[in-house]
Structure 1
Amino acid sequence: MALDQSALLDLLESLKAADADDVIRQALQAVLQALIEAEATALIGAAPHQRTETRTTQRNGYRDRLLTTAAGDLELKIPKLRSGSFFPSLLERRRRIDQ
């Protein structure tokens, strides 16, 4: 979807008015959360609340994970499974603070 010049100028003005760091942090958090959900859906074989023949397990809530980035701290939700375990491949399992 291409934006025309006036829409881009409006977007630029709204970014100037808002805290650009906050906008970047929210966008990064939304993208990472979408990637985590897509990976969980691929592992399970079904989207949330979807019934399929290929489903291997069910979701069982979320656990919070704080991710520290250059854009700031991001609060991500990692899906829990009823049987088995899931951890997104884009995150490190156990990262020490000093690394």
Structure 2
Amino acid sequence: MAYPNSTVPFEKMLMKFVTEEDPMQAMLKWLCERLMEAEVDAKLGAEKSERSTERQGYRSGYRVRRFDTRMGTLYLMVPKLRNGGYIPFFVEAKKRSELALMNVIQEAYVNGVSTRKIEKLTKSLGIDSMSRSQVSSIAKELNEQVEAFRNRNLDKVYPVLWVDALYEKIRDDRRVKNMAVLIVTGIDLEGKRDILAVEPM
């Protein structure tokens, strides 16, 4: 992901070296950054580079913010506003934010995620100003990312495979139940570990 408006070149270098291979972690990072972009658009009354008479301010690049989660440390690109005043949702309620985000990512892998689920997520994070089109776009893109991961080509050779199952609480037809999620990890010929599949059982 490129950040052309970042005002600090070091931030781009940092992002290059801390990119995670774990698809679940990468998706969590994407969702956090996508929600922040939508929240800032709503706060300013206009999208990035959009000319609008309703605009209430301007962006001023990005800053890196650390977000520690149970899936590891994320380094997020947080939008800056020219006049300040933007505090991302995960700063004010870290534990609640992480749990809500993880539930959405897990459901995306198991059942796909609906517009209603994204709306519920944004409300739980205290984001009240997102439009229906923004919510719909995030749900669509998240489902597309899951499908792209599932259908990608595996071009490397993996002489070693690890198969494990995690039990997670998943909402199904208004009921919460335990479901096993199968995780397949491969080690390639250079000893590098890749997550190959994340599938419900």
* Paired residue total: 73
Amino acid at match of 2:74: L
More moved, 52-61 vs 76-85: 76-85
Residue-by-residue CA offset, 1:36-76 (whole Å, 9 max, x unaligned): 11101100111111111110110001111010001111111
Q: With structure 1 as the length reference, what TM-score do the two structures score?
A: 0.68
More moved, 34-43 vs 79-88: 79-88
Give 1:92 deviation, angstroms.
2.5
Alignment gaps of 5+ in structure 2: 1-20, 94-201
1:67 match: secondary structure: strand
Q: Distance in 2 between matches of 1:37 and 1:77?
A: 10
Q: Distance in 2 between matches of 1:46 and 1:83?
A: 15
Within 5 Å, which residues of 2 pair with 1:1-99?
A: 22-92=22-92
1:26 match: secondary structure: helix
Amino acid at match of 1:56: Q
More moved, 37-46 vs 75-84: 75-84
Give 1:88 deviation, angstroms.
1.7
Q: With structure 2 as the length reference, what TM-score do the two structures score?
A: 0.34
1:90 match: secondary structure: helix
Q: 1 or 2 for the larger relative contact order (CA 8 Å, sep ≥6)?
A: 1
Q: Structure 1 runs of 4+ off > 3 angstroms?
A: none
Give 1:34 deviation, angstroms.
0.4
1:49 match: secondary structure: coil
Q: Distance in 2 between matches of 1:26 and 1:91?
A: 19
Instruction: Report the equivalent of 1:7.
Output: none
Give 1:89 deviation, angstroms.
2.4
Give 1:82 deviation, angstroms.
1.1
Give the RMSD, CA atoms, in angstroms: 1.6
Identity of aligned residues (%): 37
Give 1:84 deviation, angstroms.
3.5
More moved, 41-50 vs 76-85: 76-85
Amino acid at match of 2:39: E
Q: Distance in 2 between matches of 1:33 and 1:41?
A: 12
Amino acid at match of 1:88: P
